[in-house]
Amino acid sequence: MIVAKFGGTSVADAASVRRVIEIIRLRRKDRPVVVVSALAKVTDALLKLAQSAESDDAVDQAISALVQRHEQIAAELPGAGQPLRQIHAEADELRRELLATRTRAVTAADLDAIAARGELWSSRLVAAALAGAGLESVWVDIRPIMVTDGRFTRATPYIQVLNKRARDCLRPLADSGKIPVTQGFIGATATGVPTTLGRGGSDFTAALLGAALDAERVEIWTDVDGLMTADPRIVSTARSLKAASYEEAAELATFGAKILHPATALPLVRAGIPIVILNSKHPEGTGTTVGPEAVLERVGDSPIRSISWKQGITVINIRAPRMLGAYGFLRTLFEVFERYETVVDVLASGEVSVSLTIEDRSRLDSLVRELAELGEVWVEERRAIVAVVGIGLRTTPGLAARVFNAVWPANVEVISQGASSINMTFVVREEDGPDVVRRLHREFFGSD
């Protein structure tokens, strides 16, 4: 059994869905469970609609445009028109919900219920298109399987419930030769209230299902030839990696490589199930295999494997002379972050000062107010984290000098190297991010 996940660009239009059908046809003997994201840009459009107070006409127009994209695909693929009635009914429901949120503040629960439409619609279309192409598909609603807590927009699944329900529901279907088609990204609480796993969460869904079903592999189909030495949108000469370890992929994803959701590797580590990242526009390529083994093969002669960056970062600095020689200070500090449920990405600590980075600014004011009780606090905004990742970092002396030489003259702020020493991260000004990545890429991978 395999899990095959198709991202938004892989189901963007009829031509893409046709490619998806052929990819699945070739994998029938592998008993695929298919996970799909919303059509490209649909989640963005739905969330924008939910958050902006547009006029009734504008809401109608935006919903019609979204529905039309699905109709267009249905019109071009035999059999794919079957779910249109359902999609129209749900679009009416969505319209009512959006109008209802006008009279009150939009909640995170609203956002999840609204965003979920994207995956529900795309999966119905793909299931119908597969059936129309002679492949026996079954549309499966993931919500009663992906039972989560109620932390809307970043819900956590209950793994044991998920494992049992995924096995009970999906395995018999796949074993009987049917192709289950289900949604990434979305779930529901035990009482059936819709939730989502966070942006880009379909990769995580695929991995969770892969682990639950003890799949042979999890295929992530996207719009580039696997994991690359940098984001090809920033570095035109970026090269594909044949392989990477879970650890490397997780570091890259955590620090901005959008190609994988940062949690994707987590459920697969225990069973050692590989993730294969492939390009649906170039399906004959071999992509990147991400697995448990440390990958020793180098890209050219580079000691590093890839460079990623993430913008929208805030740096919080705390200077507290009482830290000197005291114990328990960091615990007190982190309790503040725990209380405000704010994740810290990078940390650098000196004798009397600590610098750390956060992405979620929603509780920044409260955080700063409480941290000010521990010492002098100052905040730097519009920063980016750059991460240099690769197992070669462990064994290559003088690498830091090479990195910082290449980065110069950009100003480097918080520097950190994890204990696993497969990554080196630092902070720069947001506007310097792309150039820093390009300069590092030139230094470590050359320009061709």
Element (H, E) at 433: helix 433-445
CB closer to ligand ASP out of 183 and 302? 183
Structure tokens at 195: 């939730």
Member of 79, 198, 232, 283 binding ligand ADP (CB under 6 A): 232
| Residues 175-204, mask of contacts with ligand ADP (x by CB under 6 A) | -------------------------x----
Cβ atoms of 8 and 66 within 8 Å: the answer is no
> Cα separation of 222 and 206, whole Å?
13
Residue number with CB closer to ligand ADP (111 or 252): 252
Helix (H, G, I), strand (E, B) or coil at 352: coil
Neighbour-count burial of 68, counting CB atoms closer than 10 A to its CB (0-12 exposed, 13-18 middle, 19+ buried): exposed
User: Under the criterion CB under 6 A, does residue 390 sit at the interface with ligand ADP?
Assistant: no
- 118 sits near Mg ion (criterion: CB under 5 A): no
Task: State which of positions 112-141 bind ligand ASP (CB under 6 A).
Answer: 118
Task: Give residues with Cβ within 8 angstroms of 432, minimum separation 6.
Answer: 384, 410, 411
Residue 119 near ligand ADP by CB under 6 A: no
Q: Please, are residues 296 and 381 in contact by the beta-carbon 8 Å criterion?
A: no
201 binds ligand ASP (CB under 6 A): yes
- Whose CB is nearest to ligand ADP? 7
378 - beta bridge partners?
A: 317
Question: Is it true that the peptide bond before 409 is cis, omega within 30 degrees of 0?
Answer: yes
Judged by CB under 5 A, the stretch of 156-164, 196-204, 237-245, 390-398 that binds Mg ion is 196-204
Q: Is 392 in the site for Mg ion (CB under 5 A)?
A: no
Residue 157 interacting with Mg ion (CB under 5 A):
no
**Among ligand ADP, ligand ASP, Mg ion, none, partner that 306 touches (CB below 5 to 8 angstroms by kind):** ligand ADP
Among 167, 199, 258, 402, binds ligand ASP (CB under 6 A): 199
Contact track, ligand ASP, 211-250, x by CB under 6 A: ----------------------------------------
The residues facing 416 across adjacent strands are 425
- Of 28-36, 67-75, 250-258, 365-373, the segment contacting ligand ADP by CB under 6 A is 250-258
- Cα separation, 368 vs 304, in Å, equals 36
Site residue total, ligand ASP (CB under 6 A): 12
Interface residue with ligand ASP among 3, 6, 8, 246 (CB under 6 A) is 8
CB of 352 to ligand ADP, least distance (A): 37
Which residues face 389 on adjacent strands? 306, 423
Distances (CA, A) of 248 to 218, 292, 393, 420: 17, 10, 11, 10
Closest approach, Cβ 334 to ligand ASP, in A, equals: 29
- Report strand pairing: 2-6 vs 217-222: parallel
CB of 283 to ligand ASP, least distance (A): 19
Only one of the segments 163-171, 198-206, 246-254, 387-395 lies at the binding site for ligand ASP (rule: CB under 6 A); that segment is 198-206
- To which residue do tokens 């998806």 refer? 20
- 184 near ligand ASP, judged by CB under 6 A: yes
CB 250 within 8 A of CB 262: yes
Size of the site for Mg ion (CB under 5 A): 2
| Cα Rg of the chain, angstroms | 23
Give me the amino acid identity at 258: K
Residue 200 binds to Mg ion (criterion: CB under 5 A) = yes
Tell me which residues in 30-49 interact with ligand ADP (CB under 6 A): 37
Q: What are phi and psi of 309, to 5 degrees?
A: -150, 155
Give which of ligand ASP, Mg ion, ligand ADP, none residue 223 binds (C-beta under 5 to 8 Å, depending on kind). ligand ADP
Among 17, 87, 98, 259, the residue binding ligand ADP under the rule CB under 6 A is: 259
The torsion region of residue 36 among left (phi > 0), alpha (psi -120 to 50) and beta comes to beta
* Contact (Cβ atoms closer than 8 angstroms) between residue 245 and residue 289: no
Work out whether 79 is an interface residue with ligand ADP (CB under 6 A). no
Angstrom distance (rounded) from CA 448 to CA 446: 6
Can you read off the two tokens belonging to residue 162?
A: 């998920």
- Cβ proximity to ligand ADP: between 302 and 308 the closer is 308
Cα–Cα distance, 237 to 228 (Å, whole number): 10
The answer to whether 258 contacts ligand ASP (rule: CB under 6 A) is no
7 binds ligand ASP (CB under 6 A): yes
Residues interacting with ligand ADP, by CB under 6 A?
7-10, 37, 200, 222-224, 227-228, 230-233, 252, 257-259, 306, 308
